[in-house]
Structure 1
Amino acid sequence: MGNRASASHLSASSGDKTQATGGSTLYELADLHGGGKIIDQFRLIYQSDDPLTQSNFNQFLRNTIKPFLYNDGHGKLVPVSTLVEERENYRLGGVRKTKRKLLQYKKYYSMTQIIKDQHDIDPGSLEHDEHGNPCRLVCWDIARRGSVGENIVHLCLLLNNPFHTDLARRIIAVFPKLAMDIYLGDEYYGEGPLHMAIVNRDFFLAKFLIDLNAPVNEIACGKFFFPEDQKMKRVSNTNYEYVTVADDETDYEGFAYYGEYPLAFAACLEEMDICKLLIRHGAYINAKDANGNSVAHLTVIRNLPEMFDFALEHGADIYAKNNRGYNCLTLAAKMGNKEMVKHILELERKPYWTFGEVSCAAYPLSSLDTIDTESGLEGSIDRKSVLNIVVTSDNPRHLDLLDGLIVEILEQKWALFARKKFYQHLITYIVYLIIFNAAFILRPPFQPDPGTSHCVARNDTRRDYFLCPRVANGASKVIDSKDIGRLILELLTAGGSLGYLGSLIIDFNRQGFHIVFQSLVNAPTRFLFLLSCALVTISIPGLFICALTRGFRLVGPFVLMIGKMIKGDLLKFMLLYLIFLIAFSQAMVVSFAGTGGSRMFLNSPLRAIEGMFILSLGEFEEIEPEFDKAPHPIFVKILFVFYVVIANVLLVNMLIAMMGKTYETTVETRKEWKRQWAQTVLVIETSIKPKQRLQYQEKYSEALGDGHDGRAVVMRWQHDEIEKKRDHKRKIRKLNELADLLYKKDLEKRKNNKIANTIRNAINKGKTKPPTSNLESIRGKNLEMKNKRADILATVTNPGMILQATTRAGGSRPVSPQQNENTDNDASHQIVNPEEE
């Protein structure tokens, strides 16, 4: 890629191998092994300080590199369509096809709309020809590039050492247009020297490139910079350089998924100084990549709270949504990142009061609660909300999010409406189940007609078991008092089934198919129960009683644990057990072949399976005497011993061990029960009318006020150690910013005093008149600095710490942590240490 050091732990991709073994004439000048004509020559004069030697080397660079450049290094405009076709040729390994069609994106919206929505930022390197077609300024000849579309500057920066970096700087100084050249191969398309300087963490090289007008909004959209599960889903279009994805579904996991833009690269690599440099030179902090992720989204994906704060302070829109409809908060919830979810909620909350280590604040419900109040469909279910994402997911990481604020909201819903409706469902279902079972229990025993055969096929349906068909056929003469009770119970059962199905149809009309379907997915036993309502002759309704136990803390975890054992442990055991059972039973059939039949095994494979199953249950008394009837009884007994050891001892004990391990995860099961309980609350919530949801939300929340729309839930909490340390670091950062501002004020004051003294001395000597405009400017600046100082003092909770900070700094300018890492230590330049504080 553009930086081998950052990907040294990865296996080489196809692009890396091609780049290393390519046969381009570029590699005669420089290659990845540190050789080449230019590198060899630069190595000879690297330590020389002779101006003439340096001048001769610059001339050597001009003479050697100029044949590889367009217009003697001034570059030329190349149509974007040509570059895209060239990129596709690189993707095919250099095979050119003149009539090959590029894939077109046809999923949800047109490519034009995607480009307009997500790539509306001018990268600074695109221009237009006389026909209005987009073109890119290209300096290095396309036909004389490396195997993945690189030039000599890319090769030097790829090696990432001081020697080759100095050479790259020298080449760019001679040919400044090379600062704008990018990789043209599909693997790393769009990566320029600025991207590589950021990945190399070279602040001074980045500043050098920006001073030479390197575009700060250049897009690196090569395959290497996409999530791993999207690399084969990229789609090109000849009208645009940008690459889109045919499927937005992704987990955002990628070794070099840095967000395409230089600012996003710097944020993902935590290069705050480079971020500040890029923003000062026009980098757009809300620019989105092909997945619709901005810098703020990427800091959430990379779990970088400090860089998220930096982006927020510099104007990042944390409420903007990516292609999948997630903002920063919901994206953190989707990825199961508890730290970022908590961090964003802390930034969004509105504090009311703090008493010691106890605080009270209001948390906005936007994007947090399942009840939507912003999309125009007020009262509808927000499937992209944090609460819905956490509760409906089966990812174990989301279990850790079921605490604090989320549980507080669920408990409020449970107390207001979910508990009441849950018990209503429970009582209604118990009554329905009693009637259902009573209707079947009161069925008369089977009595065949005298004139018919007593041999009845097992699969015949006895329609006279049910009373309703008999009444319909006019058989009223056989009805007695017991049948009247049956008739009532059957009618109640049918009515109850129709009532449940009718409520499902109402939910479909009220909520829509997707929401109701999701609620059925979260409660599969409810789906089975509704199915049983349509097929009341099948006794599936009894399974639904297990779903109702999810609302009880006492038995809920154990029901879930038994379900886990059945779906996991017992399923594995049965698979292995059936394999051994079938194998040994057929061996027994072969062993008893030719004996004329045995009472237990005979010559039937099915009877043999039945017999071996009885053996595995420990019933040996009736079967063991049959072993002596086999042609080789000793062999049969040995086979029997092996079967008992494997089936009875090994497999059964393995099943017990697996179940024991499952039982030991009771703590995790209790967390899982909490999620099942939460799903029950949300399932009940979907059955409520939207207007009623809004009414309930007004009861467990309050208006934000102070000109803010929306509602919030008020919560009190006690500060933990992590929150204390984070608050302390924020105070220290504010103190350092204040001290830095005071230092700048002092410098400005000294400068103004020097100018005033110069003017005063000149007036005293009678050489000039006082420049009133300068004096007024000085007074205005002093007043402005005083106002800024007052504003910062108002934001610091403990102004007494300012004196301590300035005293430790010795009256000198304190440096930021980033500056402290990149500069020499100086006794006069100290910073307030959070540990000392």
Structure 2
Amino acid sequence: MGNAGVKPLNETKSINGSRVVLIDDDWKNQTKNCESFEVYKYVDFKGGGSLVDSYIEGENEKTQAIISQSQITKNLLGEQGCGIFTKLSQFTPTQLLCNDKSRDTDPERCDGDYDTVDGDDEKLLVCWDTNKRGAVGETPLHICFLINQDVHRAIAKCLLQAYPAMAHDIYIKPEYYGESCVHIAIVNDDEELLKILIDECHASIHQRARGSFFMPESQRKRIKDSLPLELDTLEYEGYAYYGEYPLAFAACFERKDMYDYLLDKGAQVNAQDTFGNTILHLLIIHNKLDMISYVMKHTSVPNRSIKNKAGLTPLTLATQLGYNDSFEKLLELESQIAWKYGDIQCCVYPLKHLDSIGPDGRTNLESALALAVAGESDGHLEMVNSGVIYRLLDEKWKAYAKKNFVASFIAACFYLAFMSTAIYTRSSYDLLSPRQPSDYVRYVFEILTLISAIMYLGLQSKAIHSNGMSVYLRSLYHVPTHASFVLSCICFLLCIPGRFIPGGRSYEDIVVVFGVLFAWIGLLFYCRGISFLGPFVEMISRMLSGDIARFIIIYVIFILAMTQAYFFMYKACGSKVFDSEFGTMMALFKMTIGHFPWAETVIVLERSISPSQLLQYQKSYCCNMSSDDNDSESSMPPRGLMVIKRVDVKGISAKWKSRSRAALEQRKIWNGLYNIRN
């Protein structure tokens, strides 16, 4: 298998946000050490080979002669190259990988199972000897189909005319296992050769291309690691994941004429591949809108209710992947027109796979509505805010959701009121020994809080009984604020043993703290139902689960690292702040929020520095002062700390005004005395 119909093998591709280079080791083997494989002497990937050279020389008869010579027939099985029937089970890739000398293979990795190979006893017609094939198990006919030039197409016709059984040969190595010339002809859009293969050579139209090259990228990695396939995967991005069957290849490449032709020849329109995907599933994966319409309007209509290994129908798969265009296309094709009035029509959409309420009344989390609400892509947002899903949500809100939401909100408000009153009237002495009237009030509201919690948990147990524990837990996972309210009720019920166990006051206080915290966080669940608060609640929850969660992880790592460093650094200094691991951790936490005990830290650090060094440090921040005769304790000149500060202008102004008044008064007195003397 080469690069026919797929991206170049050296092309870069984005996977999970990073750029990687797509390289196939088996493809490299086809172009390396070609001399060691006799099959490349006839046709190679460089455009050469004995068959090509003879045909280019214009000697078609010579080409036919070479094909009929013993050098070709010696590679064929059966009488006159008619082939022999062989069990597919003998082509297990485990054996081939261990016996393949062209690859460096770890023997330990050959012990694993390989799910992409037929493990049954189905028989396959083999014409070209499996021990005389190319690096990836190909024959000259496969190479001619891959190169797909006029010369190679002509050589392929000669080979098929001489040995029709070669049309049944498939790739037998793990990378491209199961691929036949029928698949390659469909990829090349060569209807002429396709009809020759099927009509004249009777090639199988049910052959499955199940090598790792045809698997999603996530499964290719598991195959290389000898791990079993994840059949319920939803990651279908890969090299050439086209559904294994020739009919699926024709649909994915939008070969409508070939699609009709294969159906006429008996291809199964509802055939499922390794992952349980049908043609409709594959068209959804590749987002082929025109082909979806063509397939759904065909005389052989595929079954829309078939689920893949992930439990998804084509409609729910489109919802899961967030492909709004494919989702709306399938909905329109499944709908029934009730009436028309000009360009206005009334359509009825089936609720079987659309509504979250299943036929038995249980919640169906695999429905299109549930998947669209749980999705996070732009396509999911578009589904919820417009179209059929928006109308369905609006009808459900009017029917029962609004009424139940308001009733639940009122009950939650009463619960919070009971809880808050019980907390605010909580005393510091023995809670079982009432001393004041407020203690009796507390008893009443504690009982009301417990009754409310029991009633709420009773409703939750009813939901668990109706839909099952797994469905209930998934609903709590998608709405953490609702889960917080449930945890609050559980916490208050867990307080009961602490009230009666001797010494259980500390236990009760801790559980009450968590219960109060969870209760008020649970109130955010009801804020989501308010139009001007809901988006902000969602934004905060995304921040908490995303950026802030990652920040907290890194923050805790740094705090733990610095805790040990500070604890051992101050251990010999006798610091009260860093005297224990927990105290050190709390002190570091205060540092990060701005409450840094730097004054005590400075004093503690002085104890680890010699007096001479301290005097040198003191010189850097002090200046000399005039000597004080009264200070005779030290021979060193006095030093002081220079501080530049703003003078109190208001005080100076007041003093100036008072002195001015005194001067004026004194002047008036002198003027009076002068007048008396005169």
Structure 2 length-normalised TM: 0.74
- Equivalent residue, structure 2, for 1:44: 57
User: What is the CA–CA distance in structure 2 between the aligned matches of 1:80 and 1:586, rounded to whole Å?
Assistant: 63
Which amino acid counterpart does residue 519 of structure 2 have in structure 1? P
**What is the CA-CA distance between 1:319 and the residue it aligns to?**
2.8
1:585–1:261 Cα change, 3 Å: closer
Query: How many percent identity over aligned positions?
Result: 31
Say which of 288, 292, 299 aligns to 1:314. 299
Over aligned residue pairs, what C-alpha RMSD do you find? 3.6
CA contact (8 A) 2:355 2:368 kept: yes
1:589–1:19 Cα change, 3 Å: same
**What is the CA-CA distance between 1:615 and the residue it aligns to?**
7.6
The correspondence of residues 481-520 of structure 1 with structure 2, limited to 5 A, is 481-520=437-476
- Equivalent residue, structure 1, for 2:521: 543
CA contact (8 A) 1:3 1:159 kept: no
- Equivalent residue, structure 2, for 1:792: none
User: What is the CA–CA distance in structure 1 between the aligned matches of 2:65 and 2:199, rounded to whole Å?
Assistant: 23
The DSSP-based 3-state class of the residue aligned with 2:472 is helix
CA contact (8 A) 1:589 1:605 kept: no
- Equivalent residue, structure 2, for 1:738: none
Say which of 400, 403, 406 aligns to 2:389. 406
1:298 partnered with 2:276? no
1:518–1:579 Cα change, 3 Å: closer
1:593–1:104 Cα change, 3 Å: closer
Say which of 52, 59, 62 aligns to 2:65. 59
The correspondence of residues 341-740 of structure 1 with structure 2, limited to 5 A, is 341-355=327-341, 358-373=344-359, 378-402=360-384, 403-446=386-429, 464-465=430-431, 470=432, 478=434, 481-536=437-492, 537=512, 538=514, 539=516, 540-574=518-552, 606-607=583-584, 610=587, 613-614=590-591, 617=594, 622=599, 629=606, 631=609
Which amino acid counterpart does residue 225 of structure 1 have in structure 2? F
- Equivalent residue, structure 2, for 1:20: 31
Q: Which whole-Å deviations, capped at 9, do the CAs of 1:785-811 have from their partners, x for residues lacking one? A: xxxxxxxxxxxxxxxxxxxxxxxxxxx
Q: Which whole-Å deviations, capped at 9, do the CAs of 1:697-749 have from their partners, x for residues lacking one? A: xxxxxxxxxxxxxxxxxxxxxxxxxxxxxxxxxxxxxxxxxxxxxxxxxxxxx
Which amino acid counterpart does residue 206 of structure 1 have in structure 2? L
CA contact (8 A) 1:436 1:489 kept: yes
- Equivalent residue, structure 2, for 1:672: none
- Equivalent residue, structure 2, for 1:782: none
User: What is the CA–CA distance in structure 1 between the aligned matches of 2:426 and 2:237, rounded to whole Å?
Assistant: 61
**What is the CA-CA distance between 1:36 and the residue it aligns to?**
2.8
User: What is the CA–CA distance in structure 2 between the aligned matches of 1:214 and 1:309, rounded to whole Å?
Assistant: 29
1:179 partnered with 2:167? yes
CA contact (8 A) 2:590 2:596 kept: no
**What is the CA-CA distance between 1:340 and the residue it aligns to?**
0.3
User: What is the CA–CA distance in structure 2 between the aligned matches of 1:635 and 1:611, rounded to whole Å?
Assistant: 26
**What is the CA-CA distance between 1:509 and the residue it aligns to?**
1.9
- Equivalent residue, structure 2, for 1:221: 210
User: What is the CA–CA distance in structure 1 between the aligned matches of 2:223 and 2:153, rounded to whole Å?
Assistant: 32
1:414–1:89 Cα change, 3 Å: same
CA contact (8 A) 2:83 2:126 kept: yes
Q: Unaligned regions of 5+ residues in structure 1, if any? A: 46-52, 106-110, 116-132, 236-242, 447-463, 639-837
CA contact (8 A) 1:600 1:611 kept: no
CA contact (8 A) 1:330 1:384 kept: yes
Structure 1 length-normalised TM: 0.61
User: What is the CA–CA distance in structure 2 between the aligned matches of 1:612 and 1:370, rounded to whole Å?
Assistant: 47
The DSSP-based 3-state class of the residue aligned with 1:361 is strand
- Equivalent residue, structure 1, for 2:661: none
Say which of 231, 248, 255 aligns to 2:220. 231
> Larger Rg: 1 or 2?
2
User: What is the CA–CA distance in structure 1 between the aligned matches of 2:53 and 2:159, rounded to whole Å?
Assistant: 14
User: What is the CA–CA distance in structure 2 between the aligned matches of 1:135 and 1:13, rounded to whole Å?
Assistant: 29
CA contact (8 A) 1:76 1:138 kept: yes
- Equivalent residue, structure 2, for 1:68: 75
CA contact (8 A) 1:2 1:154 kept: no
User: What is the CA–CA distance in structure 1 between the aligned matches of 2:122 and 2:341, rounded to whole Å?
Assistant: 61
The DSSP-based 3-state class of the residue aligned with 1:158 is helix
**What is the CA-CA distance between 1:307 and the residue it aligns to?**
0.9
User: What is the CA–CA distance in structure 2 between the aligned matches of 1:573 and 1:246, rounded to whole Å?
Assistant: 33
Q: Which whole-Å deviations, capped at 9, do the CAs of 1:437-458 have from their partners, x for residues lacking one? A: 2122212224xxxxxxxxxxxx
User: What is the CA–CA distance in structure 2 between the aligned matches of 1:214 and 1:298, rounded to whole Å?
Assistant: 24
User: What is the CA–CA distance in structure 1 between the aligned matches of 2:180 and 2:411, rounded to whole Å?
Assistant: 68
The DSSP-based 3-state class of the residue aligned with 2:124 is strand
**What is the CA-CA distance between 1:101 and the residue it aligns to?**
8.0
1:136 partnered with 2:149? no
User: What is the CA–CA distance in structure 2 between the aligned matches of 1:518 and 1:244, rounded to whole Å?
Assistant: 26
- Equivalent residue, structure 2, for 1:164: 152
Which amino acid counterpart does residue 270 of structure 1 have in structure 2? E
User: What is the CA–CA distance in structure 2 between the aligned matches of 1:225 and 1:77, rounded to whole Å?
Assistant: 25
Q: Which whole-Å deviations, capped at 9, do the CAs of 1:9-38 have from their partners, x for residues lacking one? A: 452323212333352222232222333333
CA contact (8 A) 2:52 2:151 kept: no
User: What is the CA–CA distance in structure 2 between the aligned matches of 1:226 and 1:183, rounded to whole Å?
Assistant: 15
User: What is the CA–CA distance in structure 2 between the aligned matches of 1:582 and 1:505, rounded to whole Å?
Assistant: 41
CA contact (8 A) 1:598 1:626 kept: no
Which amino acid counterpart does residue 287 of structure 1 have in structure 2? A
User: What is the CA–CA distance in structure 1 between the aligned matches of 2:282 and 2:7, rounded to whole Å?
Assistant: 19
1:102–1:81 Cα change, 3 Å: farther
**What is the CA-CA distance between 1:501 and the residue it aligns to?**
2.1
1:597–1:383 Cα change, 3 Å: closer
- Equivalent residue, structure 2, for 1:30: 43
CA contact (8 A) 1:24 1:146 kept: yes
CA contact (8 A) 1:74 1:177 kept: yes
**What is the CA-CA distance between 1:161 and the residue it aligns to?**
2.5
1:281–1:369 Cα change, 3 Å: same
CA contact (8 A) 1:5 1:160 kept: no
Say which of 70, 79, 94 aligns to 2:87. 79
1:610–1:258 Cα change, 3 Å: same
Q: Unaligned regions of 5+ residues in structure 2, if any? A: 12-21, 493-511, 621-678
Count of residues paired in the alignment: 563
1:203 partnered with 2:214? no
CA contact (8 A) 2:113 2:228 kept: no
CA contact (8 A) 1:245 1:291 kept: no
1:327 partnered with 2:340? no
CA contact (8 A) 2:485 2:523 kept: no
1:351–1:578 Cα change, 3 Å: same
Which amino acid counterpart does residue 462 of structure 2 have in structure 1? I
Structure scoring higher RCO (CA < 8 A, sep ≥ 6) equals: 1
User: What is the CA–CA distance in structure 2 between the aligned matches of 1:626 and 1:511, rounded to whole Å?
Assistant: 65
Which amino acid counterpart does residue 14 of structure 1 have in structure 2? D
1:279 partnered with 2:267? no
Which amino acid counterpart does residue 215 of structure 2 have in structure 1? F
User: What is the CA–CA distance in structure 1 between the aligned matches of 2:321 and 2:589, rounded to whole Å?
Assistant: 50
User: What is the CA–CA distance in structure 2 between the aligned matches of 1:40 and 1:292, rounded to whole Å?
Assistant: 45
- Equivalent residue, structure 1, for 2:630: none
Larger deviation: 190-199 or 484-493?
484-493
**What is the CA-CA distance between 1:499 and the residue it aligns to?**
1.6
Say which of 337, 353, 361 aligns to 2:323. 337
User: What is the CA–CA distance in structure 2 between the aligned matches of 1:336 and 1:548, rounded to whole Å?
Assistant: 27
